[in-house]
Amino acid sequence: MMGRSHALSGAVTGLAAGIVLHKSAVADLELSGFVAGFVLLNDLDSCGSSAGRCLGLISRSVAWVIRGISGGHRHASHSILGAAAFTGLALLACHFRGDWAGKAGLALLLVIAVSSALEALHVTDGHTADLAAIAVAAAVVWYGYGLALIPLAVGLGCLTHDAGDCLTESGVPLLLPFSQHRFHLLPPRAAFTTGTRPETWIVDPLLTLALLALAVHEVMLSLPVHALVAAR
C-alpha cells in the first residue's frame, strides 16, 4: 500500500489498541500518533518510500543499509522476524536512553517515523515536517514523554504494515527466512495493486471512517458520567 494508507491504518490500529488496553485519552492519542509513524518503518527497505526519502540523505542512507540487509523491497523487513527486529531495536534504544548511543538511535527512529508520517498524511512536508519530528523526538528522548509506548507502537506498526500489504497482489513473505511463500488476506480477484483505485477509493475512505468512529468513541469514553446523564 501507499504511505498514506499505511499511516491511516497505523493511526486506526494505535487508537483501537489504546482503547482496548484502557489507557488514558492522552496515551491513546500518543499511541495512535506513534503507530501512524512507525507503521512506515517496514518500507525503509526502499530509498523511494515515505520513510526512505523524508530526511533526504540521512534517511536514504539508512534505507540503503536496510535494503541491503533485508534483501530488497518487501523481503525480510516485511516479515515477522523483521517486525521483531525493529521492535527489539526500539526496546534497546529506550532501555539505553541514558547513553548517547541510545539517545541517538531513539532520536533517529522517531524523527524518521514522525517526519514520514506527516508527509504521507499530507499534514506538512519538507523542513516543516523535519522540525516537527525533531521536536517530538526531543520531547521523548530528553523528557521521556510517551517513552513506554514506543516498543509497543513499533511492534503494532510493523505488523499493521504487513497486514496492509497482504491486501495487495504482491502479498508479504511473513515467514522469511524460513519460507518464501507470500501471504494474502484477500482472494486473487479482490487483491489490488498499490496506488490503484481500490486503495484510494475504498481502503482509504474506510480507514478514515474507522479513525473517525474510534475518535468519537474515545470522546464518549472521556466524558464524565454525569455529563452523559445530563445530555439524556
Q: What is the pTM of this model?
A: 0.92
> Do residues 140 and 146 lie in contact, with contact meaning Cβ atoms separated by under 8 Å?
yes
How far is 141 from 144, CA to CA, in rounded Å? 6
Local structure of residue 42 (DSSP, 8 states): G
Q: Is the pLDDT of residue 178 over 60?
A: yes
Mean pLDDT along residues 152-174: 96
How far is 45 from 70, CA to CA, in rounded Å? 7
Mean pLDDT along residues 196-216: 95
How far is 38 from 35, CA to CA, in rounded Å? 5
Can you give the pLDDT at residue 7? 96
The owner of cell 486506526 is 12
Residue type at 76 in one-letter notation: A
Can you give the pLDDT at residue 155? 97
Q: Is the pLDDT of residue 226 over 50?
A: no
